[in-house]
Amino acid sequence: MAGLVAAGAAAAAAVAFAFLTFGRRKKLAIPSLAGKHVFITGASSGIGLAIAKQALLQGAFVTISARNQLKLDKAAQSLVSEAHCDSHSIKVLVADVGDFNAISSAVSEAHSWKPIDVLVCNAGYTKAGYFDEVPVEVHAGQVQTNLMGVIHTVHTALPLMKPLASEKKHSIVIVSSGAGLFLLYGSSVYSATKHALRGLAECLHLELLPYNINVNLVCPGFVDTALIDQVDKDGEFETMLKILNRYDPKTMQSPDKLAEVTLDAVKKGSFLVAPKSFFPLVVLTRGMLAPASFARTLLEAFWAPIIRLVSYKLSADIKKEILKNHAVKRQSHAREIAVRRSTN
């Protein structure tokens, strides 16, 4: 009886502590973006453009950077119109993040214009296809843009940001993907680069603690941008994406909404930013870096064994679907060969 009472008391204490932790309002890392300078790569469209728009609406200055001058000019025009701002609030710089000299020059020029407070590394792309059927040059291009592009940008910006960060909080946003938590079927190297970005962000998160610079790792699900058009949705890959990655065009997140969530995380100083529907993936892939709050840690600890057991069944189902889908593909291919032979 005494043991039950003690256990009950401990549980009640844990719940009370969790409630107090959840209920406590934390001081914002960056209370406002008004007057701040936000530098964004991959900003001519999609998520990057949406973040630029949202930053301008909140009173920030922005530098938008991408590879295509024409697209950047059109993006700048749309920002002036939609964010109701002056063109002097926007700086346009053409640079390929895969080219260290080019992006380094762009970051330095932007910092000379106005010191960079928030660095958003967003540029990236994918090319769907089975690993051995995609040319190695395409794989290399994804690594160069998605991973080395972030390394190039951050490596240049950090020495510029560190001396100023002691006076006020700065932030580095690394846009990874849900593919950084779980694979994106048919996009093996893209998934690899996004996993690598998570590792980079976790290291920087700890390295930069003494310098008053936050790191925000953004792992969105499917977002309604041109990038999703680069995934083959006409056949096998669409089928497997629906099964493995729960792909549904009707539930894709809008770039504007993701931009709001991202900048909100910047202001709060949140490290990992992911949709609520990704909770099981976050729990399973958390690693040694615990959540910021003890209450969240308790919540994840409670669900972890349950989610792991469910994942065992789901993994088995996924493997069956892959083999089934592959068998259907082989049968279809065999029929095509038979038809061709019969017509010759």
* Residue the block writes with tokens 């006076």: 167
Contact call for residues 64 and 72 (beta carbons, < 8 A): yes
Of 161, 159, 194, nearest to 179 by C-alpha is 194
Angle at which helices 100-113 and 149-165 pack, to 10 degrees? Answer: 30
**In the chain, what is the greatest distance between 2 CA atoms, to the nearest angstrom?**
87
Name the residue with tokens 């002036």: 80
Q: Is 190 a catalytic residue?
A: yes
Active-site hit among 190, 211, 247, 312? 190
Q: Of the candidates 11, 21, 19, which has an alpha carbon nearest to the alpha carbon of residue 292? A: 21
The catalytic site residues sit at 190
